[in-house]
Amino acid sequence: MSDPTFTLDTARLALLASPSDRARAAAGQLADCHPWVPLEEAQAAVVLGGDGYLLDVLHQMLDNERVLPVYGLNLGTVGFLMNRHRGCDGLLKRIAKARPMQVCPLKMEAVDQDGVSHASCAINEVSLLRETRQTAKIEISVNGKVRVPELAGDGVLLATPVGSTAYNLSAHGPILPLDSQMLALTPISPFRPRRWRGAILPDRSKVSFRIREPAKRPVMVVADQKEFRDVAEVHVEIARDMAMTLLFDPGHALDERIVAEQFVV
């Protein structure tokens, strides 16, 4: 949205749909609602599907180094990052009134046991997971200082506020408000140290993981859905130069959903 003449009222919009039958059917119904343009000509995108498909679209944009504002319509299951699908009526007015939320992904750099470097981005979380029945042993450092000399367990993850309600929540990590400027560092099925349940870190933190006994206890790293196996060390920090804009209906913004999720019983 760097163009000063750009507004959602006048934006050239692209329509993207997941391969699911529901999303394809909805795309057919919306085809005549607006003179949609190809994604490469668009200033914003309307995405039909679920959270997973929306993340796929955002990753494609990051890979192409052209990240557009995205307005999601839920035709999946949870739809935490999406708005309610209500058909064609009033859709353009909803988009024009949508509230923008800026989110930054994590930048992950990993070195495997052969010394080969790998890089990827994660919008939700970066997870380190044991590959075999052997317990993973991981040293954790924050801003160059070792904070956990040896975490023994299934692994550990670092989540953004957007991802704090995903895998992080399943691992009993904290839910983070979108504007908290924090990251959740959460162990996965920890065995040692027994009393450590994770940490909430400022999002300016640089977090490093070093695998102990990597040949005996191999570990993979997963940045959202991208996986690299047999890693020796992993470094993660916020990528502020890759900020993305999600669009939400008033009253249904992501920060409100994050707060509401904490009162679900």
Q: Is the pLDDT of residue 2 over 50?
A: no
46 known member of a binding site: no
List strand residue ranges (DSSP E) for the chain, in order.
13-17, 44-49, 70-74, 83-84, 99-103, 106-112, 117-122, 125-130, 136-142, 145-159, 182-192, 199-202, 207-211, 219-223, 226-228, 231-238, 244-248
Q: Is the pLDDT assigned to residue 264 strictly greater than 80? A: no
Cβ count near 244 (within 10 Å): 18
Rounded Cα gap, residues 82 and 65, in angstroms: 23
Higher pLDDT, 81 or 220: 220
Q: Does residue 165 have a known ligand-binding role?
A: yes
Percent of the chain beyond pLDDT 90?
A: 78
Query: For residue range 174-186, what is the model confidence (pLDDT) as tens digits?
Result: 999 888 899 999 9
pLDDT-based confidence at residue 141 (cuts at 50, 70, 90): very high
Percent of the chain with pLDDT over 70: 97
Nearest to 180 by CA among 205, 160, 208: 160
pLDDT band at 253 (very low <50, low <70, confident <90, very high): low
170 annotated ligand-binding residue: yes
The yes-or-no verdict on residue 1 having pLDDT over 70 is: no
3: pLDDT strictly greater than 80: no
Q: How many CB atoms lie within 10 A of CB 265?
A: 2
**Residue 53 annotated in ligand binding:** no
**What average pLDDT does the segment 74-103 reach?**
89
State the Cα–Cα distance between residues 120 and 61, nearest whole angstrom.
13
CB distance 243 to 102 below 8 Å: yes
List, in order of start, the domains of the chain with CATH numbers.
13-104+243-261 (3.40.50.10330), 106-241 (2.60.200.30)
Choice among 9, 21, 32, 51 that is catalytic: 51
What predicted TM-score, i.e. pTM, was given to this entire model?
0.86
> pLDDT, tens digit, for every residue of 39-76?
999 999 999 999 889 999 999 999 888 999 999 999 98
Residue 89 pLDDT greater than 90, yes or no: no
Place of tokens 């329509």: 15
Query: Is 51 labeled as ligand-binding?
Result: yes
Tell me the C-alpha to C-alpha distance, in Å, between residue 102 and each of 21, 67, 68, 91, 213. Answer: 30, 12, 11, 22, 39
Is 166 known as a binding-site position?
A: yes
Q: Both tokens of residue 167?
A: 């895998």
CA gap 171, 96 in Å, rounded: 37
51 is catalytic: yes
Residue 246 Cα distances to 104, 169, 231, 254, angstroms: 11, 21, 32, 9
**125 annotated ligand-binding residue:** yes
Strand partners, 209: 140, 234
Rounded mean pLDDT, 191-215? 95
Q: How far apart, in whole angstroms, are the C-alpha atoms of residue 105 and residue 111?
A: 20
